[in-house]
Copies of this chain bind each other. A is one copy, B any other.
Amino acid sequence: MPIRPFPPLDLTHGRVEMAHGAGGRAMAHLIQQVFVTALGGEALAAGDDFARVTVPPGRLVMSTDGHVVTPRVFPGGDIGSLAVHGTVNDVAMSGARVLHLTAGFIVEEGFPLAELVAIAESMGRAAREAGVGIVAGDTKVVERGGCDGVFITTAGVGVLTDDRLDIAGDLARPGDVLLLSGTVGDHGIAILSKREGLAFETPILSDSAALNGLVAAMVAAVPEIRVLRDPTRGGVAATLNEIADQSGVGMLVREAAVPVRPAVRGACELLGLDPLTVANEGKLIAICPPDRAEALLTVMQAHPLGRDAAIIGAVLADPDRVVQLETALGGRRVIDWLAGEQLPRIC
Mark A residues whose CB is within 8 Å of B: 2-4, 17-19, 21-28, 46-55, 57, 59-68, 89-91, 93-94, 96, 100, 102-106, 135-143, 145-148, 151, 153, 155, 157-158, 160, 168-170, 229-230, 232-235, 238, 241-242, 245-246, 277, 279, 320-322, 336-345, 347
Contacts and interface: CB of A to CB of B under 8 A. Distances in A.
B49 A63 contact: yes
Contacts of A21: 233, 341, 344
A249 to B, nearest CB: 11
A229 B54 CA distance: 22
Closest 10 CB pairs of A and B: A23-B233, A23-B234, A155-B155, A24-B338, A153-B153, A64-B102, A104-B153, A66-B104, A25-B337, A49-B90
B47 A138 contact: no
Given A3-B320, A68-B106, A146-B147, 10 more contacts: A24-B337, A24-B342, A49-B230, A50-B96, A51-B62, A52-B160, A64-B102, A102-B155, A141-B344, A153-B153
A169 B46 contact: yes
A230 B21 CA distance: 17
A280 B28 CA distance: 18
Given A148-B146, A344-B22, A66 B105 contact: yes
B104 A339 contact: no
Contacts of A155: 62, 64, 102, 104, 136, 153, 155
How many copies of the shown chain assemble into the complex? 2
A55 B63 CA distance: 15
Contacts of A2: 245
A336 to B, nearest CB: 7
Contacts of A104: 64-66, 104, 153, 155
B140 A90 contact: no
Given A93-B49, A93-B50, A94-B52, A62 B157 contact: yes
A137 B233 CA distance: 15
Nearest to A227: B48
B64 A338 contact: no
25 contacts: A22-B344, A24-B277, A46-B168, A47-B169, A48-B168, A49-B89, A49-B93, A50-B158, A52-B59, A52-B60, A52-B61, A52-B168, A55-B60, A57-B57, A60-B60, A62-B100, A62-B135, A66-B153, A68-B142, A106-B106, A106-B147, A140-B345, A143-B345, A145-B148, A153-B153
